[in-house]
């Protein structure tokens, strides 16, 4: 398995592979992980580690994938709480009593693209297949967050919404945040049209020249990771506490799910994080 990264580590690559951030692994009170497309039991276009119940896969296979991933990455299957993503910017605080929602209990809310908690015994779960994962750890108040930032969520500054929610709920100061961004489809592979690019060109408070690149054919290359990095910095997170993944999902589509690489015929990855 050919995997190269200076920011992330591929663990258990011969059994149930999962990714971790080198920077987040240094924080003693959390556990985190990001699934691949390998090591599961799903079949057909979902082969083999698909974490989504809503794409037509056999639910029993998806459940088994969760159990395998949790065992490999060291999470308690009974502690999982899932998002209900639809590319908006709503941030939900979850508690230990919410364990199971979206996994082995039905969803009780729609439109939840970010989760926060400061409780032990609850594992946050969010979903990806090119969109950008955002990991937040408040190292002072011991609180965590995961957010799903597709192009709409990024343009809507979901990272800013997470920081505001963490401040209101936990007293989080952005200067105490350690963050990680990605893995996601990167600027090398993410081509968009003008109607999409305009949402990013309108982020006037940011340095748009560093994440919107016009091509000669009228299309644009977009860097969602850099956009999210700038949004976090603009909202007070220290740049030296932000790790940006060097792993492109499209370029690594043999081990990671990519919507573009598979033309939508795919499974889904998940990010998980909990307070130990």
**What is the reported pLDDT for 92?**
98
At residue 9, does pLDDT exceed 90?
yes
- Over residues 128-167, the pLDDT tens digits come to 999 999 999 999 999 999 999 999 999 999 999 999 999 9
Question: What confidence tier does 191 reach under pLDDT thresholds 50, 70, 90?
Answer: very high
**What is the reported pLDDT for 2?**
82
User: DSSP states of 74-130 as a string?
Assistant: T--GGGEEE-B-SSS--EEE--GGGTTBTTTB--S-S-B-EEEE--BT-EEEEEESS
- Over residues 54-106, the pLDDT tens digits come to 999 999 999 999 999 999 999 999 999 999 999 999 999 999 999 999 999 99
**What is the reported pLDDT for 212?**
98
CATH of the domain at 20: 3.60.140.10
Percent of residues, the chain, with pLDDT higher than 90: 99
User: Is 69 inside any structural domain?
Assistant: yes
Number of domains in the chain: 1
**What is the reported pLDDT for 1?**
73
Kindly give the interhelix angle for 224-234 and 158-170, rounded to the nearest 10 degrees.
40
User: Is 115 inside any structural domain?
Assistant: yes
**What is the reported pLDDT for 194?**
97
At residue 252, does pLDDT exceed 90?
yes
User: Is 156 inside any structural domain?
Assistant: yes
Which whole-number Å values give the CA distances from 245 to 14, 26, 256, in the listed order?
22, 16, 14
User: Is 254 inside any structural domain?
Assistant: yes
Domain containing residue 156: 8-186+224-275
- Over residues 18-35, the pLDDT tens digits come to 999 999 999 999 999 999
User: Is 218 inside any structural domain?
Assistant: no
Q: What is the mean pLDDT of residues 201-215?
A: 98
For the entire predicted model, the pTM comes to 0.98
141-144 long-range contacts, CB within 8 A, separation 24+: 141/170, 141/171, 141/172, 141/176, 142/29, 142/118, 142/275, 143/116, 143/117, 143/118, 143/169, 143/170, 143/172, 143/275, 144/30, 144/116, 144/117, 144/118, 144/273, 144/274, 144/275
Is the peptide bond preceding residue 183 cis, with omega within 30 degrees of 0?
yes
User: Is 172 inside any structural domain?
Assistant: yes
Beta-ladder partners of 220: 192, 214
């Amino acid at each position: 398995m050919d995997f190269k990264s200076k920011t992330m580590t591929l663990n258990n690559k011969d059994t149930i592979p999962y990714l971790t951030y080198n920077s987040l692994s240094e924080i003693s009170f959390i556990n985190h992980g990001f699934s691949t497309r390998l090591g599961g039991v799903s079949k057909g276009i979902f082969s083999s580690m698909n974490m989504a119940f809503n794409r037509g896969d056999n639910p029993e296979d998806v459940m088994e994938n969760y159990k395998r991933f949790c065992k490999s990455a060291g999470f308690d299957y009974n502690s999982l709480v899932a998002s209900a993503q639809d590319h908006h910017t709503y941030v939900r605080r979850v508690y230990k009593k919410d364990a199971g929602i979206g996994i082995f209990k039905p969803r009780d809310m729609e439109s939840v693209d970010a989760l926060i908690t400061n409780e032990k015994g609850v594992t946050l779960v969010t979903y990806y297949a090119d969109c950008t994962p955002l990991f937040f750890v408040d190292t002072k108040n011991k609180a965590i967050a995961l957010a799903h930032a597709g192009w709409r969520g990024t343009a809507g500054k979901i990272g800013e919404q997470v920081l505001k929610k963490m401040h209101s709920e936990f007293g989080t100061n952005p200067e105490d945040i350690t963050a990680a961004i990605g893995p996601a489809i990167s600027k090398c592979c993410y081509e968009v049209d003008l109607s999409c690019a305009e949402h990013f060109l309108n982020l006037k408070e940011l340095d748009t020249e560093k994440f919107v690149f016009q091509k000669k054919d009228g299309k644009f290359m977009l860097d969602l990771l850099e956009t999210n990095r700038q949004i976090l910095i603009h909202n007070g997170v220290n740049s030296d506490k932000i790790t940006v993944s060097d792993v492109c999902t499209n370029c690594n589509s043999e081990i990671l799910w990519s919507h573009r690489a598979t033309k939508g015929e795919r499974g889904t990855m998940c990010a998980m994080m909990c307070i130990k």
